[in-house]
A and B are shown apart, each in its own frame.
Chain A
Amino acid sequence: MSATFLGIPPFPEAAEKAVNDSRLRHNLRKATHTIRDKRASVVGELHDDWQRLRAEGAAVKEHTLRHLDRYLEQLEESVQRAGGQVHWAADAAEANEIVTRLVKATGETDVVKVKSMATQEIELNEALAEAGITAYETDLAELIVQLGDDLPSHILVPAIHLGRAQIREIFLEQMAEWGVPAPEGLTDDPRALAEAARVHLRERFLRTRTAISGANFAVADSGTLVVLESEGNGRMCLTLPQTLISVVGIEKIVPTWSDLEVFMQLLPRSSTGERMNPYTSTWTGVTPGDGPQEFHLVLLDNGRTDVLADTVGRQALRCIRCSACLNTCPVYERTGGHAYGSVYPGPIGAILTPQLRGMSSEVDEALPYASSLCGACYEVCPVAIDIPEVLVHLREEVAESPGHLGEKAMMAGAEAVLSSPRALDAVQRAAGLGRGAVPRHLPGTAGAWTDTRDVPDVPAESFRQWWDKRGRERG
């Protein structure tokens, strides 16, 4: 019942379709620029403090990743001490199996969900559906995607590719099938749409006794989990149900409660462009008579320890999923998220997905090239992940793998010319002689250039020829 990314072609092909979709382009341009500008203004007001916060955020994460084994054990202990249960999942299948078992044990067939990237990564909803359990998304954008049987296209705003007229249609057509129907005469006014979602969801919150969440942070020393959100749906899911299951990637740890002060400043400003997010929920194990009485923490590896072993690539694990890199990326702005063929789109997706999945497919191999290396992502990243550096590093892996013979031959040819001034000079002279014969439209790979761009005129003489001549004339 739910769509998956299987079958999406490699990035260049998927992107070709996206860049020609005028509605998509319009929606994305509007949304990314709005949020980009908001971020710039709330980050700008902190002046030099921002760079200090950013360095601190990167340092805390780097330290934690280096001692992850220790902090994971500490977290397990703290959570257990506070009355929670901890489960370890090596991969998606194991995590899904654990969660399914836990939900079944409650006897429930419905669960509410707080927006979570980890559960999307493991395709938990699909696994639960197979076991006869329906997972209801409660984040507004996530709800839209679920109702529309669509795919998320953004880390923070999964329905960013849709405009409000499209959302109205989805609500009118699908809400009734899932629960409380959309009111008759629903308009595409954002308030009206939000109100329809509230009414639809409220009934669900009050009725459902099991919730599944992720977490933005897991504090090792106290065993506290933290969720930041804007809509209050998370607060509902985290407090009303009887049982709470949180699926959390092992890289989400911070050592101490006080480390949160850095991230509580970095994350909202980077993600929604707010000084502070409306709702921050924290919970530590279970509290008798208050909130869920049963709490399970599922710690998810799913490729992360492999990433940790790569000294260049592992900085991707610092990511706090703020989505600033998506919002600022000129490539993402023009393709949207679906073209990346993964729940993690944009610049972070281009370095995380191939690492987590292991670059075993054409889709994953194309991702490190889905960037002009402009560096805008690195500039905005609140934990200073040098995304261009990792992209190039992953390109090296692709270039060193078997295949890609055409490109390898081209690069070898280029090196042969460029590693000898005499060879270069010879090529330049030949080009100068043939300069009149360059066609307007070139064949093969070069056609990708001449489709939309003229080629420059080839000069009659290269710089080095001119220099040489000048030297001789001057004696």
Chain B
Amino acid sequence: MRVALFITCVNDTLFPDTGRAVVRLLERLGHEVVFPEGQTCCGQMHYNTGYRRPAGRMAVRFVRTFEGADAVVVPSASCAAMVRDNYPRLGGRGSRLSRKVAELAPRVYDLTEFLVDVLGVTDVGAYYPHKVTYHPTCHGLRMLGLGDRPYRLLRAVRGLELVDLPGDTECCGFGGTFAVKNGDVSSAMGADKARHAVETGAEVLCAVDNSCLMHIGGTLSRQRSGMRVVHLAEILASTEREGAHGALEGSEAGS
């Protein structure tokens, strides 16, 4: 299958390892990955902060860039949710944008949805010999309804010990511009999430959204907790032959 990758601006700029991992994973599973070069950002930050018009313009760009794709894979639940849940609210009723969004949105998938629902795989042949806990990020949990998909994928990873995260469904406190507009509350929420994460005794906390991981990881690192955060894609891309980042030496979020 030919898969169009929407990397997202945050991953593109700060977490390219996640993108490389998605490419490696999908190619290993026998699919072709394309990267439409016109892509930039889904507009989530503008939309969530109240800047609807810029968000609308970015939605138009997104639709134009991806409308021909059979499947669009996004390694970020909140960006996938932006397209699927919020784009329909951006165009007026019956507008050109609304029609195009209605046509495209059903083919836009978070990585875990694409693997489990479209490709029908849970065992992707990964090997990751670490103790890991999973944080279900809010937009993946409540907007996309990812459910048990990430857990099924993680449980099939050889060598991986998966442990439950206490208070897992509670928001980590990132919230985009909320993290700075309400820095104190955001930090208080992050501190509790970090405490729960450390309590698990896991070595790695993983999620499907690097923006949340940047916040949790930044907190864990500031606390010198000795725990690191890793995007789920990087775990799934790891095999016995290639480590988390293949032949490439790379940075992990917050490490």
Contacts and interface: CB of A to CB of B under 8 A. Distances in A.
A372 B173 contact: yes
A462 B16 contact: yes
Interface stretch (B37-45, B152-160, B235-243): B37-45
Contact of B181 (A369, A394, A459): A369
Interface stretch (B6-14, B108-116, B198-206): B6-14
Given A398-B50, A463-B20, A453 B138 contact: no
Contacts of B9: 418, 424
B125 interface: no
Contact of A330 (B40, B170, B181, B215): B170
Interface string B2-44: 0000010101111111011001000000000001011111010
B251 A456 contact: yes
Interface string B222-255: 1000000000000000000000000000110111
Interface stretch (A119-127, A171-179, A442-450): A442-450
A15 interface: yes
Nearest to A467: B35
B190 A453 contact: yes
B160 to A, nearest CB: 24
B61 A419 contact: yes
Nearest to A459: B16
B142 A396 contact: no
Contacts of B61: 419
Interface in A417-475: 418-421, 424, 427-428, 431, 445-446, 448-449, 451-459, 461-467
Interface stretch (B52-60, B66-74, B98-106, B127-135): B52-60
A19 interface: yes
Q: Which of B17, B184, B251 has the most CB of A within 10 A?
A: B184
A444 B41 CA distance: 25
A375 B142 contact: yes
Contacts of B49: 395, 399, 407, 411
B147 to A, nearest CB: 14
A25 B184 CA distance: 13
A330 to B, nearest CB: 5
Interface residues of B, number: 70
B195 interface: no
Interface residues of A, number: 64
Interface in A381-407: 389, 392, 394-400, 407
A11 interface: yes
Contacts of A397: 50
A334 B189 contact: yes
B188 A379 contact: no
B142 A376 contact: yes
B175 A459 contact: no
Given A372-B138, A464-B37, A11 B182 contact: yes
A439 B94 CA distance: 49
Nearest to B7: A463
Given A395-B49, A415-B46, A454-B221, A421 B37 contact: yes
B36 to A, nearest CB: 10
Nearest to A401: B50
A415 to B, nearest CB: 4
Contacts of B43: 418
A133 interface: no
Contact of A419 (B15, B40, B190): B40
Contacts of A356: none
B124 interface: no
Please classify the interface of chain B as helix (H, G, I), strand (E, B), loop, or mixed, using the class held by over half of its residues: helix
B180 interface: yes
B185 A456 contact: no
Interface string A1-41: 00000000001100110011000010000000000000000
A335 interface: yes
A412 B55 CA distance: 11
A98 interface: no
Given A389-B89, A424-B40, A453-B219, A15 B46 contact: no
B75 to A, nearest CB: 10
B139 A375 contact: yes
A467 B51 CA distance: 31
Nearest to A428: B13
B182 A15 contact: yes
A453 B187 contact: yes
B183 A371 contact: no
B254 to A, nearest CB: 6
A458 B17 CA distance: 12
Given A330-B173, A411-B54, A335 B142 contact: no
A448 B183 contact: yes
Given A15-B182, A394-B50, A452-B187, 19 more contacts: A331-B182, A373-B175, A374-B171, A375-B138, A392-B47, A395-B48, A399-B52, A411-B54, A415-B51, A415-B57, A424-B13, A424-B41, A452-B219, A454-B218, A456-B253, A462-B13, A463-B7, A464-B7, A464-B12
Interface of B: 7, 9, 11-17, 19-20, 23, 35, 37-41, 43, 45-52, 54, 57-58, 61, 89, 138-139, 142-143, 169-171, 173-191, 214-215, 217-219, 221-222, 250-251, 253-255
17 contacts: A330-B189, A371-B175, A375-B139, A392-B48, A399-B50, A400-B50, A411-B54, A415-B54, A419-B54, A424-B9, A446-B180, A449-B218, A452-B191, A454-B254, A459-B14, A459-B251, A462-B12
Those 6 A-B pairs whose CB atoms lie nearest each other, nearest first: A372-B175, A395-B50, A453-B218, A448-B183, A374-B171, A399-B50
